[in-house]
Copies of this chain bind each other. A is one copy, B any other.
């Protein structure tokens, strides 16, 4: 943020105030979670010492105990024991990522995926029958969507649910090995019910993917016609019982169809308020948005744990003498060490702010009447993009922090082993990050307009190719964006070369310019590929890196906007000054990381590019004395930090 260099005075952080600011409107919920985490902190040790099945049962028991505190069902309707507040439910979930992550994921599977599917895809009878048990954990369920042969392409699932009008039943079948359900959490050991996604077939006609409630166990006994296999040891999250499921003509009553968006009458007549098969499919898939918002937030909070430990260690640990008559320097006094950790710390704050905005949008859409389809699709896109950035950030940050703690970072009790192993799958579950970023780009290129929401990659290529590039730009929200860029650049191109690097208008204008330029470039390339007679799949493959860069640029811009706006709204004071330094560090780091692109596109001179690097180093030096307080404000409970030795130098 703009600051008068001459008047710069090192701020002093009010840690409690900053912590309250981060906790925001869900402070009480987050504090409840902290209390629960502290109470069950020994789970982190159990994960290392217990056998697999023992630890799975232990995690299940703790999940049920925590459910009794009201923490886990905050998103379910109040009349069924829930809290009726989706935002609070996400806040609780992401805070839970400070602790054992098997417990976190088990909670996500039970209350988010299973409970959420019943709530959002089912109707009153389903709610009454299943939600009370789902909410208190007495009825364990699983969410059986993914198949071995169909990960990201859910529309191509192979499992079938064929309606038999004679008995008014659906017959659930796994036709081949590629169609077995795979990686399903809760399936290997605990789930009594499965919400199974399958192609609905009536007579000769397929109506696309629908969800059905299918009992799979009675107590510990697997039911006839169902086959279950354990996915076995995983890299991490071994407290979650992931399994595979096969269905051999399992019959369920007609009421097993979760029928909010489509129904089958006794005689086999199909009806749905949503006409298009594709649109119906994407409406149902929209229920995944909650999972994505939750996982992205969890990634950011896992990164907070890693940074808390690594910054604290770097503030205590000495290495090499800085001069012959002085003690060895603290690790964090080294420029390189600051460079490794502090931009990641700034990005963590930025992603936290972006997550807050996302959760607000989520609440608005969920509390609304659901008629604003464009808002819903914009939410889905934002959730997809924030999830991808948040989870990639977790992987990168945890790795960097582990290396920054040297050999000690490799010892399990110092937390990084589990943090790394458990979060690793975040980048590919609840939607593969690369696929999600493409989804963001697709939304951008089609302006979230309803008639194009259900397009796949090739549909997108054809759609874009069918229009003039200008009209693509005009249709998209990017057009409006770029108008704003022009407003922000009063003097035109020269201005952006002269503006202060710490001017937020400059920082935002840079990211907006990049986004607009990438969108129009990708539209042009898609169009000219098709115009040149290339096959759409080939066109897509060739332009794919450009598509992904576009999606990323869009989300990066949203993140920076969120962070800048959050800090700008704060009352003046030292905390605002400190967060302003983080905004600058984050914004300039994002620009620096892609400075080659900005130079290639005439937005940075070589000299200015070097000035950005120098400014980042300067910001790191200013933030260095604040780093300890900045991680303390995350308020990760002492009990779950462990790492006693790392933290006692």
Residues of chain A having any CB pair with chain B under 8 Å: 48, 146, 148, 151-153, 156, 182-183, 231-236, 319-324, 326, 328-329, 333-336, 339, 395, 399, 402-403, 406-407, 409-413, 416-417, 420-421, 424-425, 427-429, 432-434, 456-458, 535-538, 541-545, 548, 595-596, 599-602, 606, 609-610, 617, 645
Contact = CB atoms under 8 A, between A and B. Distances in A.
Contact of A617 (B233, B536, B542, B600): B542
A49 to B, nearest CB: 8
Q: Which 10 A-B pairs have the closest CB atoms?
A: A322-B537, A235-B417, A596-B596, A233-B412, A335-B544, A336-B544, A600-B606, A335-B541, A410-B425, A595-B596
A151 B407 contact: yes
Q: What is the copy number of this chain in the assembly?
A: 2
A232 B434 CA distance: 37
21 contacts: A148-B645, A153-B320, A153-B328, A182-B407, A232-B413, A233-B413, A233-B417, A234-B411, A234-B412, A235-B420, A320-B456, A320-B457, A322-B535, A334-B541, A336-B548, A406-B428, A409-B428, A599-B599, A599-B606, A600-B606, A600-B610
Contacts of A411: 231-235
Nearest to A417: B235
A544 B319 CA distance: 14
Contact of A537 (B323, B395, B542): B323
A457 B606 CA distance: 30
A184 to B, nearest CB: 11
A441 to B, nearest CB: 12
A104 to B, nearest CB: 16
A593 to B, nearest CB: 9
A432 B542 CA distance: 39
Given A231-B411, A328-B156, A545-B339, A458 B322 contact: yes
A336 B537 contact: no
A224 B426 CA distance: 49
Contacts of A409: 428
Contacts of A324: 458
Nearest to A456: B320
A537 B413 CA distance: 33
A355 to B, nearest CB: 22
Q: Which of A403, A456, A548, A602 has the most CB of B within 10 A?
A: A403
A412 B232 CA distance: 7
B427 A334 contact: no
Q: Which of A321, A333, A645 has the most CB of B within 10 A?
A: A321
A436 to B, nearest CB: 13
Contacts of A541: 329, 333-335
A548 B338 CA distance: 14
A360 to B, nearest CB: 30
Contacts of A610: 600
Contacts of A429: 407
Q: Which of A48, A320, A602 has the most CB of B within 10 A?
A: A320
Given A152-B319, A410-B428, A421-B421, A537 B329 contact: yes
A543 B335 contact: yes
Contact of A417 (B151, B152, B183, B421): B421
B407 A183 contact: yes
Contacts of A595: 596
Contact of A544 (B236, B334, B425): B334
Given A336-B434, A336-B545, A399-B395, A235 B416 contact: yes
A420 B424 contact: yes
Contacts of A235: 402, 410-412, 416-417, 420-421
A413 B230 CA distance: 12
A403 B427 contact: yes
A19 to B, nearest CB: 30
B606 A602 contact: yes
A647 to B, nearest CB: 14
A48 B230 CA distance: 15
A429 B413 CA distance: 18
Given A233-B417, A600-B610, 6 more contacts: A152-B319, A233-B412, A323-B537, A395-B399, A410-B425, A596-B596
B326 A537 contact: yes
Contacts of A427: 403
A545 B617 contact: yes
Contacts of A406: 151-152, 428, 432
A182 B617 CA distance: 34
A644 to B, nearest CB: 12
A406 B150 CA distance: 11
A336 to B, nearest CB: 4
Contacts of A645: 148
